[in-house]
Structure 1
Amino acid sequence: MADKVQFDLVSPERSLVSEAVDMVVVPGVDGDFGVLPQHSPMMTLLRPGVITTYEGDRPVKRIFVAGGFAEANPAGVIVLAEAADVVGEVTADQARQLLRNAEEDLSVAASAAEADRAKLEQAVAVAQARVEAMTAPA
């Protein structure tokens, strides 16, 4: 197990992943970072994007995260995601519909308070990132 990194991903709805892999690439707010066995301890916020797990040099699983928090340490990485979808479980059409819904919510909220508008704009940004994740080649 020393040559593997333990990867755990939890969203508010469910635990999505708990497995040992060779490497995990995570979308941090300051850029993507890879986690290998014996990684130095660190914590970071996540931006909307795709987490990719690897076996050897082969990507195995891609998971869209809407944001959240990650903690890496020598034993592995734990991701607490605001929302997460395994790429392939949500179709591109479903992702596009979520984007249309978010854009519509934003357009009808022209008179919304500034804080509410910021939440709606964030929802649109997350939906756009989800569409990109679900339509990008593997």
Structure 2
Amino acid sequence: MNILTRASRVAIATTKSVRSARFYASEAPATSDKLTLTFVLPHKSLYNAINVQQVNLAATSGDMGILANHVPTIEQLNPGIIEVIESAEVTKKFFVSGGFATIHPDSSLNINAVEASPLEDFSLERVQSGLAEAQRIVAGNGSDVEKAAAKVEMDVYEALQNALSK
């Protein structure tokens, strides 16, 4: 028996012995009516285990609204808005360039983003100017590296322009 055959048999035996708890949101044990949010950047924490009502975010699989007792998942974030509904009276919006959101079975949500800023910190005019510059570089005679970087900038500027235009 060669090593690949033995390794595959061990892997199959190991996966058969591992038991996991998978369930849908309707079957999840109700732990709380609040969502515990931790929202961090490399240089600071925006929320540190704070109870909120809901978080809306732009994931690669689609826009999501997350409440307590949400089905556990990991989502990659698109450039876009993260809306934190702290209470019926308080809602905060942040623009993120990307990152990951992890929803846990205990009604906690961890968001890790490279960059995030309050939406009100952006000017629509400056965003449109940056978008025009990125489009000029993509359409111009720059190097492949310059064009690729400008394409990423275009995606972020377009998402930011869309968020500010609502």
Task: Place the TM-score, normalised by the shorter chain, in its bin.
Answer: 0.7 to 0.9
Superposition TM-score, scaled by structure 1 size: 0.79
Residues 50-59 or 90-99, more deviating: 50-59
Unaligned ranges ≥5, structure 2: 1-30
- The answer for the alignment partner of 1:103 in structure 2 is 135
The equivalences for 1:1-138 within 5 A come to: 2-18=32-48, 19-55=50-86, 60-73=91-104, 74-108=106-140, 110-113=141-144, 116-136=146-166
Identity of aligned residues (%): 25
Alignment partner of 2:69: what SS?
coil
Alignment partner of 2:120: what SS?
coil
Superposition TM-score, scaled by structure 2 size: 0.67
Post-superposition offset of 1:94: 3.0
- The answer for the alignment partner of 2:21 in structure 1 is none
Unaligned ranges ≥5, structure 1: none
More helix per residue: 1 or 2? 2
- Computed over aligned residues only, the root mean square deviation of the Cα atoms, in angstroms, reads 2.5
Distance 1:9 1:107, change over 3 A: farther
Distance 1:100 1:82, change over 3 A: farther
Post-superposition offset of 1:46: 1.0
Quick check: which has more Rg, 1 or 2? 2
Post-superposition offset of 1:72: 0.9
